[in-house]
């Protein structure tokens, strides 16, 4: 299935997060919350009513210190939900949040159209071939996450400390372009590549703030840009707030992101961010 095209540059798009996990850092994981497919459909319909453009379905938490799950377990979580969303005719794009080729292929067969790979095609050598075969757009995220650099605090959650970069913006740009080269070599079309600077993944609080402020440098690489600051620890540690109190920080980060060139905002709080995107677009595009 070939995904419909988004007209990047015309407006800011919003991607709503559907976590099919028991251990999401944001506290919104649906696993264990009644019947999983029903809960996911209910959340998806709320997101669509709020104006979301893309639903991002994931079956494994990527928070610092999270427990990895097998591909089979991930597939068991995501495939029934993606199939239910696909046949529900919600008129939104469906993205699968996975770095495992087997899970991505199962999701695409079930009705997903995009792959959102938090390791930028580096974790599974078969992922690029899967994306190319199905002609699926891919989100390539920058990631230097290392469990040994994860600092976990009960109230504020996990953050990364002691992450070393020679030059943060140059290093992130170079490593993203390496992922782009993997994609192109595998036959993924240039127009099917979206970049994500990886806010919160292998970066300290200060590095996340700088990367967000310099997002225009990543946009200058020439690809559509996805930004995912939603409820993340750099907000929590800046404001000294737990995940369920980070809405205002998320909105501030999203506003700066749109100003700096973000094309897609990946968030938990869809309704306020859709409104923010529309208002920010109206201001920035006024003459």
- Catalytic position from the list 100, 159, 232, 246: 232
Active site residue 285: no
Structure tokens at 206: 């200060």
Mapped onto helix, strand or coil, the DSSP state of residue 166 is coil
Instruction: Answer whether residue 18 shows pLDDT above 50.
Output: yes
Instruction: Answer whether residue 58 shows pLDDT above 50.
Output: yes
- Catalytic position from the list 266, 275, 278, 285: 266
In this prediction, residue 89 carries a pLDDT of 83
The CA-atom distances, in angstroms, between 130 and each of 39, 113, 192 are 29, 12, 13
Distance CA 144, CA 163 (A): 8
Instruction: Answer whether residue 286 shows pLDDT above 50.
Output: yes
Instruction: Answer whether residue 117 shows pLDDT above 70.
Output: yes
pLDDT tier at 27, thresholds 50, 70, 90: very low
pLDDT tier at 23, thresholds 50, 70, 90: low
Residue 183 is assigned to a structural domain of this protein: yes
Residue 101 is assigned to a structural domain of this protein: yes
Residue 1 is assigned to a structural domain of this protein: no
Instruction: Answer whether residue 25 shows pLDDT above 80.
Output: no
Q: Cβ of 122: how many Cβ atoms within 10 Å?
A: 18
β-partners of residue 96 are 57, 115
Report the pLDDT averaged over residues 156-167. 84
Instruction: Answer whether residue 251 shows pLDDT above 80.
Output: yes
The CA-atom distances, in angstroms, between 233 and each of 74, 146, 237, 246 are 25, 16, 6, 9
Residue with the larger pLDDT of the pair 44 and 35: 44
Q: Is residue 161 a contact partner of residue 149, using CB atoms and an 8 Å limit?
A: yes
Q: Give 141-159 pLDDT, tens digit per residue.
A: 999 987 656 666 767 777 7
Q: Which residue range forms the structural domain that includes residue 65?
A: 13-284
Instruction: Compute the mean pLDDT over every residue in the chain, rounded to the nearest whole number.
Output: 91
Residue 6 is assigned to a structural domain of this protein: no
What is the pTM for the complete model shown? 0.92
pLDDT tier at 88, thresholds 50, 70, 90: very high
In this prediction, residue 67 carries a pLDDT of 74
Mapped onto helix, strand or coil, the DSSP state of residue 179 is helix
Per mean pLDDT, which range of 29-43, 47-61, 165-179 is the poorest?
A: 29-43
Non-local CB neighbours of 130 within 8 Å, separated by 6+ positions: 101, 104, 105, 108, 115, 136
pLDDT cut 70: percent of the chain above it: 91
Residue 4 is assigned to a structural domain of this protein: no
pLDDT tier at 36, thresholds 50, 70, 90: confident
pLDDT tier at 39, thresholds 50, 70, 90: confident
Active site residue 214: no
Residue 70 is assigned to a structural domain of this protein: yes
| Element housing 174 (H / E) | helix 168-186
State how many domains the chain has.
1
Instruction: Answer whether residue 64 shows pLDDT above 70.
Output: no
CATH number for position 151? 3.20.20.20
Report the pLDDT averaged over residues 53-75. 87
């Amino acid at each position: 299935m070939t995904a419909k095209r988004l007209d990047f540059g015309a407006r800011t798009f919003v991607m709503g997060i559907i976590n099919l996990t028991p251990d999401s850092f944001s506290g919104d994981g649906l696993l264990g919350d009644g019947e999983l497919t029903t809960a996911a459909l209910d959340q998806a319909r709320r997101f669509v009513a709020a104006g979301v453009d893309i639903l991002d379905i994931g079956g494994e938490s990527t928070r610092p210190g999270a427990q990895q799950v097998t591909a089979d377990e991930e597939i068991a979580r995501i495939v029934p939900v993606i199939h239910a969303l696909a046949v529900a005719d919600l008129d939104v794009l469906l993205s699968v949040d996975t770095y495992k080729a087997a899970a991505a292929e199962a999701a695409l067969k079930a009705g997903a159209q995009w792959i959102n790979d938090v390791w930028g095609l580096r974790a599974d050598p078969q992922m690029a071939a899967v994306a190319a075969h199905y002609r699926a757009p891919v989100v390539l995220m920058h990631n230097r996450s290392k469990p040994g650099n994860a600092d976990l605090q009960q109230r504020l959650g996990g953050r990364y400390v002691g992450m070393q970069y020679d030059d943060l913006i140059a290093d992130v740009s170079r490593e993203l372009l390496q992922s782009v080269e993997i994609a192109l070599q595998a036959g993924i079309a240039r127009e099917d590549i979206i970049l994500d600077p990886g806010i919160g993944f292998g970066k300290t609080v200060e590095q996340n703030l700088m990367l967000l402020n310099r997002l225009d440098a990543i946009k200058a690489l020439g690809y559509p840009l996805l930004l995912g600051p939603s409820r993340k620890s750099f907000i929590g540690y800046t404001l000294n707030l737990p995940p369920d109190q980070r809405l205002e920080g998320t909105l501030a980060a999203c506003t700066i992101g749109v100003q700096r060139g973000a094309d897609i905002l990946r968030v938990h709080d869809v309704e306020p961010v859709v409104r923010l995107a529309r208002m920010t677009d109206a201001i920035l595009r006024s003459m």
